[in-house]
Structure formats: C-alpha cells, structure tokens
Amino acid sequence: MTIPDSLEAAIQQAKTATLTALEGGCHRIQVELVFPEIALEAQNIARQFAELFLDYSSGLKVLFADTGAAALARRDWGDVPFLVNDLGSRFTPVETKVSESDQLFLVVCPSAVEVEAVEKLCNLAGDRPVLLLIPQLESVATVGIGSTARQLRERFLSTLETAYYIKPFEGGVVYRTYPELWQVWTDAPAPVVGYTLIAEEPERPAGDRLERILMGSAESNPDVVPTPKKKGLLGNLGQMLKALSQ
C-alpha cells in the first residue's frame, strides 16, 4: 500500500482493508479517516461502504449516531435494500435496534458520547460483524484519565481491530492498513516528491512515542533540508475539506 493522494483513494484503500479484515475473521472493526471536517462527508462515505455489503440485503443495518443524521440518510438515499436507523437514545435504547435477522452492523461516526451504546451493540451482535466508520472514540482512550478511561480501554476499545487508519500531521502521516503494521511516513527530502517510511510499529504510535520516532528520524538525517510545501495528501485534502466547510 502507498499513501493515498486524495480522499477518494483513501476510501478505496479503506474498503479493501475492511474486506480483508472480515475475511481474516475480525468481527469488531474500525475505519478511521482522521481529517478535519471529515464528518461532513460521513453520509457519502457510509453509502459507499454500505454498497460493499449489498449481498446482505435487509441483513445489513446502517446505524447513524443520531436520529437527525439517520433521517437525512433515509431521505437522500431513497429506497435501499438495507435498513437505516439511529444508534438509539434514552427513549429508544440500542437493544431495540438489534434483531435476530441482522447480519452486519455499520455504525457511522459514533463519538465518545455513544461509546457505551456502541459497546452494548457489539456485545449484542456477538459474532456478527460490527464496522465502526469514522469513529470519534480516540479522545476517550487518549485524553480520558483515571480508572474509568483505563477500564474502557481494557474492556472495549482493546477489542476493536483497526482495518484502516490515516491521520496526517504537519510533515507526515500515521497510517495503517490491515493486516500490516502501523506506519509513520514523513515528507521525503527534496528533490523527491512524496513520503518516506521511517517506522513500523505493532501498535498505533501516538504522543511521546510518535515524538521519539520523529526525533530519531531527524537525528539520523541531520543534513536533510525541509522540503517546500507540495501537493499530495495534505495539500489536496486540505483544500477539499476547507471547501466543504464553507
């Protein structure tokens, strides 16, 4: 796999990685496209992923994080062979969203607020696949402190398999596609256009670990001159997402 140069390319890679993870026996899968304003594209991306599973027909259930998003999807998508609903609320708990005929659940943009409902859904699903698309659960694991956050990591988040992850940062990308290792890429030194793989890790590099990787790379290449800003993943996606937010 190579670093994608557009959102469309990233989505295609993510779909391939998702199918590979399912074929590998994974049941709790997440696809993380960590871009600013990506939620604006959630409905479109969800439709593309739903089309991967049309063979399930009404056995596929697409669940949006809130009632309004689910209603918009039903309006915009029209007649589809699968079911579209919301994840539930205090008035309609997640238990009411699961039936014996369901075969696969696609959960769109669940946030830290819905994490307990998502955990309950996964438990109710049993061996049936649950795909979390563009989840916003990262803050629960990395920002949360104390025993509650630790228990959540150990009890639930650790059971999720990341089929696809891409997160640009200034000068590079953290990237993973199932079943490969997690990777850190940085801007290639001039005159090369593109990215250079500098590390592969068994777990997602973040925080201090990511900083050490980047510092180690800089120390091992002291003569590298920073490259000028160029088009590619950061440039193209930045322009597109800025346009979407206007």
pLDDT tens for the chain, residues 1 to 246: 789 989 999 999 999 999 999 999 999 999 999 998 898 999 999 999 999 999 999 999 999 999 999 999 999 999 999 999 999 887 889 999 999 999 999 999 998 888 889 999 999 999 999 999 999 876 655 555 456 666 776 788 889 999 999 999 888 999 999 999 999 999 877 666 788 999 999 999 988 999 999 988 766 554 444 444 444 554 555 554 444 333
> CA 109, CA 87: separation in Å to the nearest integer?
10
Q: What domains can you pick out in the chain, each with its CATH number?
A: 1-246 (3.40.50)
> Between β-strands 130-133 and 161-169, what pairing exists: parallel, antiparallel or unpaired?
unpaired
* Predicted pLDDT at 94: 93
Residue 189 Cα distances to 117, 137, 193, 217, 236, angstroms: 46, 34, 8, 12, 19
> CA 111, CA 46: separation in Å to the nearest integer?
16
The total of other beta-carbon atoms located within 10 Å of residue 203's CB is 10
Judge whether 102 and 128 are in contact, CB under 8 Å.
yes
Structure token pair of residue 35: 């871009």
Structure token pair of residue 92: 């309609």
